[in-house]
Amino acid sequence: MTSNVCFLNSNNGYGLLAFGGEDILVVQHVISIDEIDKFIEDRPNKYIFLCLSYDLKNRIESLSSKNKDNSSFPDLVLWCPDCVFDVNPESLNILQGNASTEHFMFARDFISSTKSTQIQNFNVQFEPQISKDVYINKVNALKELIQRGDIYEINFCQEYLAKNIEEEDVKNCYTNLNSITKAPFSSYFRFGEFEIFCGSPERFIKNDAGTLTSEPIKGTSKRGETSKEDKQLIHSLKRDPKERAENIMIVDLMRNDLSKIAKKGSVHVDELCEVYTYKTVHQMVSKVSCKLKENSSFTDILKATFPMGSMTGAPKIRAMQLIEDFEDFKRGLYSGSIGYISPNGDFDLNVVIRTLIYNSKLKTLSCAAGSAITIQSDAEKEYEECGIKVQKILDGISG
């Protein structure tokens, strides 16, 4: 079994599969995010796959992360693989490296395994790391700060943790999860002691020939039992004033972030509060784009936009300070990003949500969930929203 593997799966038949090679930089505590540009510059015309921890924020702003760390995920992972395959419905095409027969066999077998319809049962017991009462008290305290004017909106999260998990227990985790979520920014990443099983529906930011596009999600509804109920839920979500207010606040934040690196006058809202239907939920999605200033590096873009506003709140820095005060776990990769940079400098990065993070040394499997808290939030309903998100994941991995 090859040690390092990454599969970026759009769930429409297309994706990127990378494996092989030990040209990997794993930084537990980043001193400067300029290390990212150096890694890219030293590997011209190469595909690079990456994991960006939420805690990179501490090197972008004057912030810190001191909460309990149950997964011990590094701040930064940059990897230049030996082999990169373009996956499409008709074929596998080599994009990087010299693929041998064994490489093609591994790629075919790996892709086939992720499409398995045989859900493998295993028993994993997740424990919420805070009680419902504590969660509700914290949400109400955050609402008081919103009332006082400290912030307008904050993404407040909680962690669910399973302990004493063996590698055998998570063998089918990605396949099980993906069969349930079928998310457009799904990913699997394995390196060192870590395995990441991600069913994300959200794009953080994409660069396509100098056009940056971000697609923040704010506003979630469960799926209906029938198409009629689905239509009613979509209708309600589209017109829900709280959900729209959440989404519009983050769109404004994203417009502001992009303006720092955009050509003058190029920031544009392409879609506002559109509802997209995924296999497990309905989500309200907006799209914001801009033309990138010339000579902007990858790190310049991160400094302007990371972490994504949909996982922080507004104003962004104050929201991140309060996240540290009110949450009881270190987010690590959760609320960060997984993605790739192509040889020409284009890139596509997701938002790490609907995700399980496994550490084989600690034998922990971590799953976090959150929701946006505004002045209109009902603490009971926010708790229920977290439950909807997490339960679908737990049902999926448990078969």
Residue with tokens 């011209």: 44
- Can you read off the two tokens belonging to residue 66? 């001191």
Tokens of residue 35, six digits: 């290390």
CA torsion sign for 294, 298, 303, 308 is positive
Non-local CB neighbours of 353 within 8 Å, separated by 6+ positions: 200, 201, 202, 311, 334, 335, 369, 389
Name residue 208's beta-bridge partners: 211
State how far the Cα of 387 lies from the Cα of 384, in Å rounded to an integer. 5
CA distance to 12, 14, 16, 120, 399, per residue, from 117 (Å) = 16, 18, 21, 9, 11
Q: Output Rg (C-alpha) for the chain, integer angstroms.
A: 20
Q: Which one of the listed residues 218, 316, 389, 392 is annotated catalytic?
A: 218
How far is residue 308's CA from residue 95's CA, in Å, rounded to a whole number? 29
Q: Which of 153, 195, 202, 327 is catalytic?
A: 202
| Cis peptide bond upstream of 89, omega within 30 | no
Tell me the C-alpha distance between 80 and 382, whole Å. Answer: 40
3-state SS, residue 135: helix
Alpha carbon of residue 28 to chain centroid? 19
Rounded distance between C-alpha atoms, residue 351 and residue 333, angstroms: 10
Residue 202 known to be catalytic: yes
Respond yes or no: is residue 218 known to be catalytic: yes
Residue indicated by tokens 């104003």: 315
289 Cβ contact list (under 8 Å, min separation 6) = 211, 212, 213, 214, 258, 267, 268, 270
Distance CA 344, CA 237 (A): 39
Residues annotated as catalytic (active site), given as ranges: 202, 218
